[in-house]
Amino acid sequence: MEGFFYDQRKQVFQYDEVMNNQRQALYAERRRALLSQDSKGQVLSYGYQVITDAVASYANPNLKPAEWNLETLLSSLRSLLPIPKDLAPSALAGLSSDAIDNFLREQLHLVYDRKEHLIEQQRPGLMRQVERFFVLQQIDLLWREHLQAMNALKESVNLRSYAQKDPLIEYKNEGYDMFLEMMDRIRANVLRLMFTFKPTPQPAPQAAAAAAAPAEQPEPVEAALPRFAF
C-alpha cells in the first residue's frame, strides 16, 4: 500500500512540475513588465521574435532563396505590424535571411517610434503605461485560458495509455507546445493592440470655477484605452 501511494504522489508531483516550470517562465515575464522601467524594450522584443519566427518560416536560410516566399512573409507581418504598403517583396530579394531580419527590425523601430511620438504628443507619459497595461492584460488573460486547456489535456492523456503511450510524456510534449503557442499569442496580441491603440481625447479645460475646484485624481490609464472585445 505504501508503494502504491508513493507512486501516486510521485505521478502527481511530476504533472505539477510541468505546470510549475511553465508558471515560473510566465511569471518571470510578468515581473519584467511590472518591475522593469524598459516596457518599450519588452514590446520591441516581442516584435523581434515575431519577425524572426516569420523569417524562419518564409525565408529559411536552410532553403534556397528561390524557395522563399517573401510575399507571404510581408503579408503575415502586416497583420500585426504597420509595415509600409510600398515595401514590396522585390525590396528584400537578394538579401540574406539575416539581412532581411535586420531590415524588418529597423522598419519595426521606425513605425514604433512614430506611434510613440503621436501618443506622447497627446498624452505625455501614456505610452509607457499603455505598454505595461497591454502586456499584463494579455499575460493574465491567456494564462487563465492556458490553465483550463492544460487541465483538459491532463484528463485526456490518461486515455492514451490504452494506445501504449506514456501519459506523462504526452502531457509534457503537448503542454510544451501549448505553452509556446500561448507565448506567441501574447506577443502577437500585444503588438496588434499597441499599433491599433488610440487614446481618447482629453476633455477641454474648464473655466475659472473648475480651476478653483479641488484637484482631481489623475485619470487611470484604463480610461484612455479603447474597449476591446476578446
pLDDT digits (tens, 9 = 90+) for 108-132: 999 999 999 999 998 899 999 999 9
H helix intervals, the chain: 2-35, 39-58, 70-78, 97-122, 126-157, 167-196, 208-212, 221-224
Q: Residue 179: which domain range?
A: 11-199
Residue 219 resides in a domain: no
**pLDDT, position 226:** 47
CB contact burial 192-226 (16+ within 10 A = b; e otherwise): bbbeebebeeeeeeeeeeeeeeeeeeeeebeebbe
Residue 82 resides in a domain: yes
Residue 66 resides in a domain: yes
Please check the confidence at residue 212 and state whether its pLDDT lies above 70: no
Q: Which three cell numbers stand for residue 32?
A: 519584467
Q: Which domain CATH number covers 51?
A: 1.10.3060.10
Q: What is the pTM of this model?
A: 0.81
d(CA 5, CA 78): 54
Residue 210 resides in a domain: no
Count of domains forming the chain: 1
